[in-house]
Structure 1
Amino acid sequence: MSDCREPGCKCLPSTSSVSQTMDEMDFERGIWYAAQNNDLERVEKLLRKGVCPDAPDAAGYTALHHAARAGHLKVCTRLLNAGASVDAATRAGHATALHRAAAAGRLPVVDLLLLAGANTKLPDVDGKTALHRAAEHGHLPVVKSILQACPDLKYRRDERGKLPLYYARGNDEVARLLG
């Protein structure tokens, strides 16, 4: 059955894979898609038009969350210069841009966020800091950088009572650093 009820209509059925939700269309037109795809020119244009750098997408992520996870240093820098909150947290997961960059192993972005004053002690919904996330994914340079900024984080337990060292299992270099 098609979406259109007109006689002879050749519309695609609503279950077609080419349909797109309003949230998806808003995302693609918004600053989040530009940030995620390293489109600095579009980010600049949207900021000049007055788009708030901290506007959340439908899932609660800001443009900085998207750019940080993807490792887009110039876009992150521009968003921070435009006033993006370095510690903005998502609604459901309480993840910050630092959590996302650390989990993805984006060292230059992690260093930028730390320089911008990111709070290394903020936990996500699981009680994990960015150090837990970096250790969990075996990102040794990121673990080193976060530890340099806040050495006491290696003693911080998550909601399950686990230290970052627990998540380094299987990665001897990260485990040595956290041990």
Structure 2
Amino acid sequence: MKRIGSRLRSLTKGPRPRLWNARSMIALGLSVALCAAALSAEGQIIDAARSGDVDALRSLLAEGADANTTQGDGMTALHWAAERGHSAVAELLLSAGADGEAQTRVGSYTPLHLASRSGYGPIVRTLLDAGADPDATTTNTGVTPLHLAAGAVGGADAVAALLERGATVDAREASSGQTPLMFASAYNRSEAVVVLLQHDADPAVQTKAVDVLRSMAIDREANQRFRDAIDDFRDAEAAGRDWEPSPTNVQAAIRAQREFLLSDYDPGPVDGVSLARVNSEYPGGPSITHPPYRESLVGRTGGMSA
């Protein structure tokens, strides 16, 4: 027992933890409360718009909440109302000064894009009445609201609303040149197809035709431009074999590659022979020619209509 008691006393010896004084605790509590209140106000207006709670939203706006509160991804309360189909919420936000042209950080989607993608005709009309651009184009895929409405379930009313307000009926998206009619046809949206044809959509328009071998030659040259840029940095720094490019070096090389791809580079006549790789199967073995087999079989893609 004496040994145990001695052991316990040794464990309880030493400096006691400092206790915060009352003033420090109060200051910390007020700081936390203020931060929580600010975060709560921002989150509440987004939540009210997302859930369609008009009364809660009206109260928040009356208390001074910002109608243009934005999330980290660029989504505003109006974006959420448009995507969820909450017409009354969208109208209230617009009347409170919400920006109808606000864009997401990725793709630059406006509320009109999201309402169109969800096929909500009434909100599409509300946004158009507020001045939304019917031909706004996303920066990632190059689609307009009409493309998205044409492919949406029940999107015929949204399609009609956009066309009535001047949307370009045969607008082409960026990747392959598809039109809204192609979107509607691909997703089997027959009602949207009818509306588009009634507004003179051209069923004979074709997607971009891609010469696969030519594209392969351009891609190879672009990759070489990237490697050349990295080599230039290595030479400028007189670095040895262990040299590694910095993030700034890599970014500059990527910019050079992108500028090349945006140019009108013509690789000239290309075929499977000119694009073949020559190497050996093993060290010291004979050189073997490897033409691009799959690409040669495909040849060309695209050129399809609705």
For residues 137-165 of structure 1, the C-alpha deviation after alignment (integer angstroms, 9 at most, x for no partner) is 141111111111115x1121111211111
Supply the distance in 1 between the matched residues of 2:106 and 2:63 (Cα, whole angstroms). 29
Q: How far apart are the structure 2 equivalents of 1:29 and 1:59?
A: 14
User: Can you list the C-alpha shifts for 1:69-108, whole angstroms capped at 9, x where unaligned?
Assistant: 1111111111001100111111112111111111111111
2:170 corresponds to which residue? 155
Structure 1 CA distance for aligned equivalents of residues 96 and 56 of structure 2:
14
Q: TM-score, normalised by structure 2?
A: 0.48
- Counterpart of 2:51, as a letter, is N
- Conserved? CA contact 1:27–1:57, under 8 Å: no
State the structure with bigger RCO (CA 8 A, min sep 6), 1 or 2: 1
1:101 aligns with 2:115: yes
% identical equivalent positions: 35
Aligned length: 155
Which consecutive residues of structure 2, in runs of 5 or more, have no partner in the other structure?
Answer: 1-35, 202-306
Structure 2 distance, partners of 1:136, 1:26, is 37
Which protein is richer in strand relative to its size? 2
Aligned position for 1:48? 62
Could you tell me which of 118, 121, 137 is aligned with 2:152?
Answer: 137
Partner of 1:10: none
Letter in 2 for 1:121: D
| Aligned-residue offset at 1:28 | 8.5
TM-fit CA distance, 1:176: 3.2
Q: Does 1:172 align with 2:190?
A: yes
In 1, the alpha carbon distance for the partners of 2:142 and 2:41 equals 28
d(CA) in 2 for partners of 1:177, 1:109: 18
Greater C-alpha radius of gyration: 2
- Within 2, Cα distance between the matches of 1:104 and 1:113? 14
Q: Is the 8 A contact 1:32 1:66 kept in 2?
A: yes
Given residue 170 of structure 2, which amino acid in structure 1 is its aligned partner?
Answer: Y
User: Which residue of the other structure, out of 139, 143, 161, is the alignment partner of 1:128?
Assistant: 143
- 2:46 pairs, out of 32, 41, 46, with 32
The CA deviation at 1:41 is 1.8
Q: Provide runs of 4+ in structure 1 moved above 6 Å.
A: none
Cα distance in 2 for partners of 1:40, 1:114 equals 21
Q: How does 1:14-33 map to 2 (within 5 A)?
A: 29-33=43-47
- 2:162 corresponds in structure 1 to 146
Aligned to 2:126, which of 98, 105, 112? Answer: 112
Instruction: Assess if the C-alpha contact under 8 Å between 2:152 and 2:189 holds in 1.
Output: no
Distance between the aligned counterparts of 1:158 and 1:99, measured in 2?
14
Q: Distance in 2 between matches of 1:163 and 1:98?
A: 18
Structure 2 residue identity aligned to 1:84: A
Q: Deviations over 1:29-54 (max 9, x none)?
A: 33111001111122122222322211
